[in-house]
Amino acid sequence: MEKAMSLEERLAALERENDRLHAWNEINNLMGQYTVNWVPKTLHRALDFYALDQPDVSVEIADRGVFIGPEAVQLFFNKFSRMSQVVGNLLIHYLTSSMIVVAGDGKTAKGVWRSPGIEAVVPPDGGKPVPLWSFGAYAVDFIRTKGVWKVWHLHWYRTIKCTYKDAWVEDLSLTYTGRIPGSPENVGATTYHNPYRPDTTQESIPPCPEPYETWTDSKWMVTPRIMEE
């Protein structure tokens, strides 16, 4: 028979659970704000959402490589925002099916969102913008720093990126885009990039985050969750 919890223990447990619920709401709003600012005109503001006081803060977008450290993350967004022409370009990535797990110790959290998106990109030589489908998923480690939740490690997984006209089975020209031109040599190798192609098999990556007590590493992002029969 389990020992009955004392009043003090019950109050402490309720306080921890209340804190985790507040964290869930704050993290969900954080990602909403992040995507709202993910437009060419305000793309540089994405840096405000990152834990730039953490030496291993990182961002990985599709097969662009892994930018690790405050300076690298700032370099990524500075380069990316300069590449995104404001007039005529469109970047909208919605968030769906939020799955957030706050660590038992309340210091970190993990989150996954499926993300359908629409884009319009002006060709390098000018002309009429090209409408695109851009679907994928976010997997994110969050950390509470100075009492505020921030993005710690963010990985965007591209599932499809193609023209609206030809769709994802016919147009594979944007399946792989590679590193951003001019990226430094110390940009880490892409950890996982398996966009849809007619000759590929899709996996349950990123998986649903599972309950955990204390953060250890980001391997959970690329470990398929095997459902029991």
Which of 121, 190, 184 is CA-nearest to residue 157?
Answer: 190
Tell which wins on pLDDT, 33 or 126: 33
Q: Is residue 118 part of a domain?
A: yes
Q: Is residue 216 part of a domain?
A: no
Q: What is the arithmetic mean of pLDDT over 106-123?
A: 95
Which of 73, 77, 143 is CA-nearest to residue 105?
Answer: 143
Q: What is the arithmetic mean of pLDDT over 37-55?
A: 91
Structure tokens given for 29 = 């709003």
Prediction pTM value? 0.92
Q: What is the arithmetic mean of pLDDT over 83-97?
A: 85
Q: Is residue 229 part of a domain?
A: no
Q: Is residue 217 part of a domain?
A: no
Structure tokens given for 202 = 């899709």
Q: What is the arithmetic mean of pLDDT over 75-87?
A: 76
Model pLDDT, residue 72: 93
Q: Does residue 64 carry a pLDDT above 70? A: yes
Partners of residue 134 on adjacent β-strands: 161
Model pLDDT, residue 199: 94
Cβ atoms 70, 180 nearer than 8 A = no
Q: How sure is the predictor about 229, in pLDDT bands with cuts at 50, 70 and 90?
A: very low
Side-chain half-sphere CA neighbours of 55 within 13 A:
0
The total of structural domains in the chain comes to 1
Q: Is residue 15 part of a domain?
A: yes
Cβ atoms 121, 130 nearer than 8 A = yes
Model pLDDT, residue 12: 77
Tens of pLDDT, residue by residue over 185-220, are 889 999 999 999 999 999 999 999 999 999 999 999
Model pLDDT, residue 79: 78
Q: Does residue 228 carry a pLDDT above 60? A: no
Give me the phi and psi of 167, to 5 degrees please: 65, 180
Q: Can you tell me the distance from the alpha carbon of 154 to that of 15, in angstroms, rounded to the nearest whole number?
A: 29
CATH classification at residue 147 = 3.10.450.50
Model pLDDT, residue 126: 84
Q: Can you tell me the distance from the alpha carbon of 25 to that of 116, in angstroms, rounded to the nearest whole number?
A: 22
Q: Is residue 222 part of a domain?
A: no
Q: Name, of 4-18, 46-60, 170-184, the range with top average pLDDT.
A: 46-60
Q: Find how far residue 185's CA is from the centre of its chain.
A: 23
Model pLDDT, residue 84: 63
Helix, strand, or coil (residue 3): coil
Q: How sure is the predictor about 5, in pLDDT bands with cuts at 50, 70 and 90?
A: confident
Q: Is residue 175 part of a domain?
A: yes
Sign of CA dihedral 24, 25, 28, 34: negative
Cβ atoms 135, 116 nearer than 8 A = yes
For residue 126, give its domain range.
Answer: 7-204
Which of 52, 32, 50, 18 is CA-nearest to residue 94?
Answer: 32
Model pLDDT, residue 2: 62
Burial zone of 24 (CB within 10 Å; 0-12 exposed, 13-18 middle, 19+ buried): middle
Alpha helix (H) residue ranges in 84-219: 167-170
Q: Supply the mean pLDDT for the chain.
A: 91
Cβ atoms 176, 46 nearer than 8 A = no
Q: Is residue 159 part of a domain?
A: yes
Tens of pLDDT, residue by residue over 153-188, are 999 999 999 999 999 999 999 999 998 887 888 899
